[in-house]
Copies of this chain bind each other. A is one copy, B any other.
Amino acid sequence: MSETVSPLAPKKQPRMPAIEGVRIATAQAGIKYKGRTDLLAMVFDEGTTVAGVFTRSKCPSAPVDFCRQNLAGGRARALIVNSGNANAFTGKRGRESTALTAKAAAKAAGCGEGEVFLASTGVIGEPLDTTKFAHLLDGMVAGAGADGWAEAGRAIMTTDTYPKYATARVLLGETEVTINGIAKGAGMIAPDMATMLSFIATDAPIDAPVLQDLLSKGTGKTFNAVTVDSDTSTSDTLILFATGAAARRGAPRITEAKDTRLSAFRRALNRILKNLALQVVRDGEGARKQVEVTVTGAKSARSAKRVALSIANSPLVKTAVAGEDANWGRIVMAVGKAGEPADRDLLGIWFGDIRVAHEGERDPAYSEAATSAYMKRDEIAIRVDLGLGRGKATVWTCDLTKEYVAINGDYRS
């Protein structure tokens, strides 16, 4: 946790309601941090289904391997998360740690080890000493309560400057259900700190394959559309739990992804995913500005997203935004290097509503003064039209400041 809260932090945090079927406990295990909670247990009622998406890294952490394996079963009874140590690049000892933690959690929750999910975030390469916390799990599960969401968000923080929450109520059939989400991450990726974790729970009764479909499709335009520094963590983890408790109040069980009663739920879930993803960007290390990059007129949506990410990941674009400089030459550069179809002489570029370039040349009508004024905002929208087709994508990032370099140049030593 940093002492200075990001200037882009939400002005107000939502009050997080309870989710039927979810109980929460946190503890101070002293894994690395002192004087703060660093251990989270979530306990789920029998019948809870689960879906997850994980880092694409070829060198994933031990807990990511562990969760991927258990996901096949589609059932969850417990989630254990620690901060301060990522249990990544810890070899055989890493697998021993996940096995020991899962065993202790299964015993505490009275479930099988295949129903336990694990996440770890913190330093890479240090063995995770389970003797620091495995003995705490019995007591945590026994004492877990429904109202721990606010504390859950704090227990999983590392370099975050604020905890990240989102909540929504939505109708499933004619029954109101609730979705709660928490996330951590400061820098899409700060791999020492093992990155982005997010856990979402709902009382809606949704089968695991449907839940996975919702989550996989939902991440494309949310968590997979944000970037702080283009660096992908070993530990990115997003898990969605559905306890099904709302069935007792009449909510229909959803067994197929194409069920039309799911529409409002899907929209609410996607809003929560986007909300949490943007909170991660807005807590990007050293961030002073949120940057939305929209590419239109590409050959395909896939091509549009690649061009958008090329712009959003360009150090030169990001430093220009930090310097409040409407440097569209660097945007041309980033379009050009993306390797996707583009024609210089068709390009249009906008900052907000101000068109700065048109058909491959500086827009003769463009006002430097108006653009400079726009660049002083803390939310900057960049739009590029490639003029080739109908492909479209939006991604989000933050600016690249001296503070990013300071945070990441000074961190481990």
Contacts of A325 in B (CB 8 A): 409-413
Asked whether A315 lies within 8 Å of B125 as measured between CB atoms, the reply is no
Contacts of A338 in B (CB 8 A): 58
- Does A138 count as interface, using CB distance less than 8 angstroms? no
Q: A323-B411, A408-B319 are in contact. Are A333 and B58 (CB under 8 A)?
A: no
Q: A125-B328, A189-B316, A315-B230 are in contact. Are A336 and B408 (CB under 8 A)?
A: no
**The residue from B233, B336, B339, B410 contacting A234, defined by CB atoms under 8 A apart:** B336
Q: Which single residue of chain B is at the shortest CB-CB distance from A363?
A: B125
Contacts of A412 in B (CB 8 A): 320, 323, 325, 327, 329
- Does A342 count as interface, using CB distance less than 8 angstroms? yes
Asked whether B88 lies within 8 Å of A322 as measured between CB atoms, the reply is no
Complex Cα gap A123–B329 (Å): 8
Q: Interface-forming stretch among A75-83, A104-112, A207-215, A396-404?
A: A396-404
Asked whether B404 lies within 8 Å of A89 as measured between CB atoms, the reply is no
CB distance from A249 to the nearest CB of B (A): 44
Asked whether B408 lies within 8 Å of A402 as measured between CB atoms, the reply is no
Asked whether B344 lies within 8 Å of A409 as measured between CB atoms, the reply is no
Complex Cα gap A191–B315 (Å): 11
Contacts of A360 in B (CB 8 A): 89, 91
> Which of A86, A323, A334, A406 has the most B CB atoms < 10 Å from its CB?
A323
Asked whether A231 lies within 8 Å of B124 as measured between CB atoms, the reply is no
Contacts of A247 in B (CB 8 A): none
Q: Which single residue of chain B is at the shortest CB-CB distance from A62?
A: B344
**The residue from B57, B90, B125, B314 contacting A337, defined by CB atoms under 8 A apart:** B57
Contacts of A319 in B (CB 8 A): 404-405, 408-409
Complex Cα gap A229–B52 (Å): 33
Asked whether A91 lies within 8 Å of B345 as measured between CB atoms, the reply is yes
- Does A46 count as interface, using CB distance less than 8 angstroms? no
Copies in the complex: 2
Closest 7 CB pairs of A and B: A124-B329, A323-B409, A57-B336, A59-B336, A232-B337, A191-B333, A91-B361
Contacts of A328 in B (CB 8 A): 125
Complex Cα gap A266–B402 (Å): 43
Q: Which single residue of chain B is at the shortest CB-CB distance from A372?
A: B413
**The residue from B192, B357, B405 contacting A327, defined by CB atoms under 8 A apart:** B192
Q: Which single residue of chain B is at the shortest CB-CB distance from A307?
A: B58
Complex Cα gap A56–B31 (Å): 48
Complex Cα gap A324–B336 (Å): 33
Q: A58-B339, A89-B344, A333-B191 are in contact. Are A316 and B413 (CB under 8 A)?
A: no
26 contacts between A and B (CB under 8 A): A56-B339, A57-B333, A57-B336, A58-B342, A59-B344, A88-B332, A89-B362, A91-B344, A91-B361, A124-B330, A125-B329, A125-B357, A126-B362, A189-B316, A191-B332, A230-B313, A231-B316, A232-B333, A232-B336, A320-B412, A325-B410, A325-B412, A325-B413, A327-B411, A401-B409, A402-B406
Complex Cα gap A30–B378 (Å): 38
Asked whether B192 lies within 8 Å of A330 as measured between CB atoms, the reply is yes
- Does A93 count as interface, using CB distance less than 8 angstroms? yes
Asked whether A329 lies within 8 Å of B88 as measured between CB atoms, the reply is yes
Asked whether A333 lies within 8 Å of B234 as measured between CB atoms, the reply is yes
Complex Cα gap A320–B59 (Å): 20
Complex Cα gap A87–B360 (Å): 12
- Does A73 count as interface, using CB distance less than 8 angstroms? no
Contacts of A10 in B (CB 8 A): none
0/1 interface trace, chain A 377-413, chain B, CB 8 Å (1 if under): 0000000000000000000000011101110111111
Asked whether B333 lies within 8 Å of A233 as measured between CB atoms, the reply is yes
